[in-house]
Amino acid sequence: MSLLSSNAALREEINSLTQAWLRVGEQWSDAQHAKMGDYYIEPLNQCYSTADEALQVMTQILDKAQRDCGWT
């Protein structure tokens, strides 16, 4: 599996988790739910966004290196 397809699969799973968390919030909306969202769900989404940006840049660099070296 390529890095980009792995990245897409990870994004899909994080989206599923986030959607499930939002659905849970319809029934469980106390301070503890908000705290867990603040400590786990939001940081996960932020970390993924940062990693996704880095992965996109690294993929471009690797693609260029492979083209420059005649590997593709």
> What single letter denotes the amino acid at residue 33?
H
Spans in the chain with pLDDT lower than 50: none
Which pLDDT belongs to residue 37? 92
* First-to-last C-alpha distance (Å) of the chain: 17
> What single letter denotes the amino acid at residue 49?
S
* Residues 6 or more apart in contact with residue 4 via CB below 8 angstroms: 55, 59
Structure pTM?
0.75
- What is the count of structural domains for the chain? 1
Report DSSP letters for 14-39, one per residue: HHHHHHHHHHHHHH--SHHHHHHIII
| Domain range for 32 | 3-68
